[in-house]
Amino acid sequence: MNKKIIIIGIIILLISLSLSGCIKQDNNYEKINIIGETALNGVYDPSIEYDQNGTGWMAYSPVEAPEYVHTHLAKSMDHGKTWSYVQTINQGKNGTIILENETEINGVWRHEVSSLVNDPNDPGKEWKIFWHKYFAISPYEAENRLFQYGWIAYKYASHPMGPWSEEIPLFGSGIFPPEPYETIIDLSSLHEDLNEFVVYSEPGSLVVDDIMYLSLNGHVIINDQNIGKTILLSSDDHGETWQYVNTLLEPNNSKEYGGLYFSGSSLVEEEGRLFLFACPDNPDGNLKQHFGTCIYEFEDITKGILIRDENEKLMIHK
């Protein structure tokens, strides 16, 4: 069976924001330079978690254009005012894949959009990181990302400084990735709501009452258009097994903000309240495709239900 190369342009820009609704433009921000970070082309995808001692840990994606994207870790001892690079968790590397017709293609393995989470009641695995690993080829433009050669991966450690486990290929989608690559779970077969998705990306993670939650963007191609939905998974055994909870955001939820769908989801806890952050996305091949960040509050995260008004419309948190 011929396997179609699925090309999906996803550029991730996650910004750490206060809980102030769907933000399109705001000049009240401050640039943070990560001390010791040497990436020449910027850093993206921040994921921040604080330990029980108040130390901040941030996983992020440093970019070495055009080829490489890694996963680095930074540390803050002053509640996020300053950050210092401490280690590389995932290193982007050169690689070769063999297509179905036995053609060899050279490229790089990238590690993007990581999500760091503290799971304190899992001895020896108290810290986990989820990310999207995939293959890209020259000239390394958006259309050169071969997402069918990719998966949602994770590692674990007893402390953010490691040592971290070997990579665990966690979630694939249907026939992807092709042999010889293999994931533990074919996520698209987990529930009928997931059958259509051909790639998953942009994990967001959170532990609530000893249940781990993972938001993901699931993507499908309809009439040559990339359409994404935001879904929620849960695990009651520290990530050993997973259940589908609900679809949180549909493409039409983003239209009033200029998007075709939402991307870049994050799960956030603030003083006992639980929120979903997501970015209205309208891919047009440049950085203007992202239209701020929308913040929704959960009514019941165990059922994947967001707060709606009396007309059943999703309520933006103001």
The pLDDT tens digits for 182-225 are 999 999 999 999 999 999 999 999 999 999 999 999 999 887 77
Structure tokens at 43: 């850093």
- Report whether the peptide linkage leading into residue 280 is cis, meaning its omega lies within 30 degrees of zero: no
- Does the pTM surpass 0.85? The reply is yes
Where helices occur in the chain by DSSP H, the ranges are none
Cα gap 227→11, rounded to integer Å: 14
Query: What value does the CA radius of gyration of the chain take, rounded to a whole number of Å?
Result: 19
Mean pLDDT of the chain: 89
* CB neighbourhood size of 137 (10 A): 17
CB 167 within 8 A of CB 180: no
Question: What are the chain's domains?
Answer: 34-262 (2.115.10)
pLDDT at position 32 is 86
Q: Whats the size of the chain, residue-wise?
A: 318
DSSP strands (E only) in the chain: 34-35, 43-50, 56-64, 68-69, 71-76, 83-90, 93-98, 104-118, 127-136, 145-157, 168-172, 185-186, 199-208, 211-222, 225-235, 243-249, 261-270, 273-281, 294-300, 305-306
Strand partners for 244: 233
The pLDDT tens digits for 226-258 are 889 999 999 999 999 999 999 999 999 999 898
